[in-house]
Structure 1
Amino acid sequence: MTPEQRFDAMFESAVADRRSLVRFLDGVSEAQARWKPPDGEWSILEGLEHILLTEAFFQTTMIEALRGAENSGRWDTTQPGAFKMTLEALRRREQGQVDAPAHLLPKGRTDFRPMAAGLLPAREATREALLPWRARDLGRLVVPSPRYGALNAYERIGYSGIHDALHQEQMERVTRQPGYPGR
């Protein structure tokens, strides 16, 4: 695959996961989104806010890594033998429960519909922000993650979609809990 094809394929996957999340949220009412599960799990609204915070952080982190590589001329930051999870393993949740860092915890936003409506535009904004590097081979540019290991830039793009899918699963669990309100 060419760099452009790899870039496009990873974003297509990430956008497909984002669309699935949007479809799920379209069936959730304001009251359902705000409902807080008694077991301490995040509400749907809290999960949505976390996803948007993570998208902004992901975009910033990627731009910093790409600009850093551009400025240094160092596009190969792989480290032999470095820990790395595959995207398939991450999608299967082999990483186990992962607590969000403090800067990505929900802050208490309550504007459910506007946040949900912002999901696809936020993903497209990330894609647009990274487009200047689309023709560059990013397969050896590692954007490290303390939890998931030495993922390259393409894998980080793919993981952004997987992150959505994992939180959609969490939100779906919320809908099956006793006391979850009807529409």
Structure 2
Amino acid sequence: MEPATIDDIFAFNESTRERLKELAADVSPEIANSIPEGEKWSPAHVIEHLALTEASMAKVCGSLLKKAAEKGETANGPIVISEDFRNALNQSASFKAEAPEMVAPKGSMPIADSFAAMVETAAHMTKIRRMFAEYDAAAHRFPHPYFGRLNAAEWLMLIGLHESRHIEQLGRIIAALK
């Protein structure tokens, strides 16, 4: 993904969410909590993890943009996606990361509840969307456990990229359970 604007990132994230919904529609109640051989998570686990992770990433975006707003750091041109972030993304394709405890699925959230949580997160992102246009999304950074210090635009981009990665995983899990 090579976004030119924040709107490009939001559009990518929205289309990715639609792909997730379509795939999740294939998850029957019988397989929702089943873990196939060779996997650590069930379909419900994957979707719960996405709900937890996206809520966390949305909070980080809001916090970084709020700092820029408080300091009067206004947007001044194109979005900034660092070379370090691009390199980390390329490297991440070849390794399997372990979810940090705070976003690891507990196995207690039904798929419908996970999607309801994602709707709440999307509503939060809609509320702060204008801040990406008004304030410098690259002015402040917050550390990611695998990708280093990311700015708000990079965190926003990571929401859809992370979801895409787990869509592939979810597809494998569903296929193995059918």
**Range of TM-score over shorter length:** 0.7 to 0.9
CA 1:116/1:158 → structure 2, altered by over 3 Å: closer, same or farther? same
User: In the alignment, which residue of structure 2 is the partner of 1:62?
Assistant: 61
**Contact 2:74–2:134, Cα closer than 8 Å, also in 1:** no
**Deviation of 1:45 (Å):** 0.4
Q: Distance in 2 between matches of 1:152 and 1:43?
A: 32
Structure 2 length as normaliser, TM-score?
A: 0.79
- Of 65-74 and 49-58, deviating more is 65-74
Q: Distance in 2 between matches of 1:75 and 1:168?
A: 35
Letter in 2 for 1:126: H
What do the CA deviations read for 1:119-173 (whole angstroms, capped 9, x no partner)?
A: 4x24531322322413225453344423113443223212101111111111112
Q: Distance in 1 between matches of 2:91 and 2:29?
A: 30
**Deviation of 1:117 (Å):** 5.3
- Aligned Cα root-mean-square deviation (Å): 2.8
CA 1:140/1:134 → structure 2, altered by over 3 Å: closer, same or farther? closer
**Contact 1:13–1:161, Cα closer than 8 Å, also in 2:** yes
**Contact 1:144–1:150, Cα closer than 8 Å, also in 2:** yes
Letter in 2 for 1:98: A
Structure 1 length as normaliser, TM-score?
A: 0.77
Identity rate of aligned residues, in percent?
Answer: 25
CA 1:165/1:91 → structure 2, altered by over 3 Å: closer, same or farther? farther
**Structure 1 unaligned residues grouped into runs of 5+:** 77-81
User: In the alignment, which residue of structure 2 is the partner of 1:31?
Assistant: 30
User: In the alignment, which residue of structure 1 is the partner of 2:79?
Assistant: none
2:20 paired with 1:21: yes
Q: Distance in 2 between matches of 1:152 and 1:61?
A: 9
Letter in 1 for 2:60: T
What do the CA deviations read for 1:30-62 (whole angstroms, capped 9, x no partner)?
A: 122211123342111001101000111011111
User: In the alignment, which residue of structure 1 is the partner of 2:128?
Assistant: 130
Q: Distance in 2 between matches of 1:63 and 1:110?
A: 25
| SS at structure 2 position matched to 1:129 | helix
After TM superposition, list the pairs within 5 Å mapping 1:36-115 onto structure 2.
36-73=35-72, 84-86=84-86, 90=89, 93-94=92-93, 96-115=95-114
**Deviation of 1:95 (Å):** 5.6
**Aligned positions, number:** 168
CA 1:20/1:91 → structure 2, altered by over 3 Å: closer, same or farther? farther
Q: Distance in 2 between matches of 1:149 and 1:92?
A: 13
Q: Distance in 2 between matches of 1:140 and 1:107?
A: 33
Greater share of residues in strand: 2
Letter in 1 for 2:16: D
